[in-house]
Structure 1
């Protein structure tokens, strides 16, 4: 159960640390998505590094708060009807995926019809 997240984390770490690995991934993605028409290069920028560190620190802080004080991040009582709609069964996930896709389709329909 932890193999997939571990592989994804290892791949993300390798893409950021190993020289040339990030460029190889970017080149492969460019070939797969744009048939090589767009030349991509991967480089680190100070804002990108800062946002990465900030998001990591925020994720660690929220995880620590959820473990140390579970009631602090609990959903308020007014969210209980929404929580009852999602029981965790696979059918609920499929139903909500269908609802979300339908809502996005309805919202995009005017733009599609207008041209």
Structure 2
């Protein structure tokens, strides 16, 4: 995400903008991705056989077995990734 590290750096250092600049070009990608995610989730729930299980998904399914340790590991990995993305903005402010 372009500018993510800089934006985080501004927020952490207290120099965040007072008000967001809402424009159609900034809001439209967020709305589009939200609607696409909702549509895909609805498709997955209502038409599970349409999506089906593919052979290439087997390694992915082995990574997430539903055990509580898997959830903790994925949460830790996501938090680490977010920290690595935000760290340059925090350090360079």
When normalised by structure 1's length, the TM-score is: 0.45
Which one scores higher on RCO, CA 8 angstroms, separation ≥ 6? 2
Gaps of 5+ in 2: 1-9, 82-93
> Once the two structures are superposed, what CA deviation does each residue of 1:55-98 show, in whole Å capped at 9, x if it has no partner?
12212211221122112334412322431232111222344567
Structure with higher Rg: it is: 1
Aligned to 2:69: 91
**For the structure 1 residues 91 and 71, does the alpha-carbon distance in structure 2 shift closer, same or farther, using more than 3 Å as the test?**
same
Q: How many residues align?
A: 69
Matched, 1:45 2:23: yes
When normalised by structure 2's length, the TM-score is: 0.52
